[in-house]
């Protein structure tokens, strides 16, 4: 593949991923707004000048704009109305019926929350679809990576090895390997290994480590220091009910991992090297596109969870910032003053711009 083809993978892959995810997010706002009688003036994929667009029967201008880094839904009533002389005027009764700001607090909250909510639902659908069509991967007891230093490295295990048995106990799946090793910390184990078509015997003593289990209890386990081989995997297709449940649990797991990472960032246990921006998204999108549609859709599901969760952060300019203002309105019994909201949105805009610059710089340094 030449450099031109390679570059097109990145460009087209990232445009496809971002366009779909932005559409899904904004469609959530749009759909709930229309269900609540709000008139939607604009549905835009991207920002800046319009490249292509059309107006539907409901009066919504659907358009694709020049800068494909997001999108927006503009609802009637989000801005003040001006008369012919440029002075602010009052809403008529008919206009109030289709105005966003004249809807109840519950309706406005539902409209704003719908965008992130649909991102989570979309992730569930993608994960479930992959489980039904492609299948869920169950790795064989193949070695994809040997950590250094580790008990596996000391024993002489190599990438590409397949463990057949441990102390005479047959091993087929990587989970079998994990369970036996975990139950034998500090115990010398006899490994029967298949390597390059022949079999050999190695001896390994799993490292003794203490860590928290799923219930939060500290337990002592053995650790070999290997990761499964992605080439030695069995894919099993799931029925629709199981697939949907897997979609839900995977979406929850990704959400928990993101929140855990953010928490570690806040307390200083993790650095910011893993934060990525548009360039990083384009890079991974291109790699996933080359790997095939299942990989690309899996990445889209992961990114959809990220988009939904980030939009719920209580930062003005994001959906979470609007929800924060609505929460204050519920407590006070009336909306925050225009000046307070204006300063809040200005602060949010500066914060978002700083974050965009930072993650873009991270991307450039990584490149």
Same domain assignment for residues 130 and 8: yes
Q: Has residue 187 been placed in a domain?
A: yes
Same domain assignment for residues 207 and 287: no
Cα angle: 48, vertex 68, 293; to 5 degrees: 165
Q: What is the pLDDT along the chain (367 residues), one digit of tens a residue?
A: 444 444 666 777 778 888 899 899 999 999 999 999 999 999 998 888 989 989 988 889 999 998 877 788 998 877 655 445 556 667 788 888 888 888 999 999 999 999 999 999 999 999 999 999 988 877 887 888 888 888 888 888 888 888 888 888 888 888 888 888 888 888 888 888 888 888 888 888 888 888 766 666 777 888 888 888 877 888 888 899 999 999 999 999 989 888 887 887 777 766 666 666 667 776 777 677 677 788 888 889 998 998 899 889 888 888 888 899 899 889 888 887 778 877 777 877 787 777 777 666 766 666 6
Range of the domain at 212: 139-234
Same domain assignment for residues 31 and 118: yes
* Confidence (pLDDT) at 5: 47
* Confidence (pLDDT) at 334: 84
Q: Has residue 82 been placed in a domain?
A: no
Same domain assignment for residues 156 and 211: yes
DSSP letter assigned to residue 27: H
* Confidence (pLDDT) at 212: 67
Same domain assignment for residues 120 and 16: yes
Same domain assignment for residues 360 and 288: yes
Domain's final residue, options 180, 200, 234: 234
* Confidence (pLDDT) at 277: 65
Same domain assignment for residues 167 and 116: no
Q: Has residue 249 been placed in a domain?
A: no
Q: Which string of DSSP letters, residue by residue, matches 258-284?
A: HHHHHHHHHHTSS-STT---HHHHHHH
- Please identify which residue in the block is written with the tokens 């995810």: 21
* Inter-residue contact 197 to 165 (CB < 8 Å): no
What are phi and psi for residue 121, nearest 5 degrees? Answer: -65, -35
CA atoms within 13 A on the CB side of 317: 15
Same domain assignment for residues 14 and 115: yes
Domain's final residue, options 234, 266, 289: 234
Same domain assignment for residues 145 and 118: no
Q: Has residue 78 been placed in a domain?
A: no
* Inter-residue contact 115 to 28 (CB < 8 Å): yes
> Which residues touch 282 (CB under 8 Å, ≥6 apart)?
10, 11, 13, 14
Q: Has residue 328 been placed in a domain?
A: yes
Q: Provide the annotated active-site residues.
A: 26
Domain's final residue, options 234, 257, 290: 234
Q: Has residue 250 been placed in a domain?
A: no
Q: Has residue 76 been placed in a domain?
A: no
Q: Has residue 262 been placed in a domain?
A: no
Query: Rounded to whole angstroms, how far apart are CA atoms 324 and 329?
Result: 9
* Confidence (pLDDT) at 346: 81
CATH number for the domain spanning 192: value is 2.30.42.10
Same domain assignment for residues 224 and 159: yes
Neighbouring CB atoms inside 10 A of 356's CB total 13
Same domain assignment for residues 143 and 219: yes
* Confidence (pLDDT) at 177: 85
The domain tally of the chain equals 2
Neighbouring CB atoms inside 10 A of 236's CB total 10
Query: Rounded to whole angstroms, how far apart are CA atoms 313 and 320?
Result: 5
Same domain assignment for residues 17 and 127: yes
């Amino acid at each position: 593949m030449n450099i031109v083809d390679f570059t097109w993978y990145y460009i087209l892959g990232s445009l496809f991923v971002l366009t779909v995810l932005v559409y899904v997010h904004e469609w959530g706002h749009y759909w709930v707004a229309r269900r609540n009688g709000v008139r939607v003036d604009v549905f835009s994929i991207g920002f800046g000048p319009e490249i292509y667009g059309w107006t539907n029967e409901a009066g919504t201008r659907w358009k694709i704009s020049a800068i494909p880094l997001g999108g927006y839904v503009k609802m009637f009533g989000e801005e003040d109305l001006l008369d012919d002389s440029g002075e602010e005027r009052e809403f008529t009764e008919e206009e109030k019926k289709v105005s966003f700001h004249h809807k109840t607090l519950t309706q406005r909250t539902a409209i704003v929350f719908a965008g992130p909510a649909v991102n989570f639902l979309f992730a569930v659908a993608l994960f479930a679809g992959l489980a039904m069509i492609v299948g869920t991967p169950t790795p064989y007891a193949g070695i994809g990576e040997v950590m250094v230093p580790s008990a596996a490295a000391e024993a002489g295990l190599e990438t590409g090895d397949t463990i057949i048995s441990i102390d005479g106990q047959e091993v087929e799946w990587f989970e079998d390997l994990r369970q036996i090793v975990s139950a034998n910390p500090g115990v010398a184990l006899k490994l029967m290994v298949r390597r390059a078509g022949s079999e050999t015997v190695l001896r390994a003593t799993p490292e003794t480590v203490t860590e928290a289990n799923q219930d939060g209890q500290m337990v002592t386990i053995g650790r070999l220091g290997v990761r499964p081989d992605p080439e030695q995997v069995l894919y099993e297709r799931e029925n629709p009910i199981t697939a949907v449940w897997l979609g839900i649990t995977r979406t929850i797991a990704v959400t928990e991992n993101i929140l855990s990472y953010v928490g570690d960032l806040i307390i200083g246990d993790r650095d910011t090297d893993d934060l990525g921006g548009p360039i990083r998204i384009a890079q991974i999108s291109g790699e996933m596109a080359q790997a095939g549609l299942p990989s690309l859709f899996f990445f889209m599901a992961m990114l959809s969870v990220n988009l939904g969760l980030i939009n719920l952060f209580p930062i003005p300019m994001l959906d979470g910032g609007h929800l924060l203002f609505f929460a204050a309105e519920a407590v006070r019994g009336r909306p925050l003053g225009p000046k307070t909201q204006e300063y809040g949105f200005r602060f949010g805009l500066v914060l978002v711009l700083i974050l965009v610059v930072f993650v873009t710089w991270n991307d450039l340094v990584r490149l």
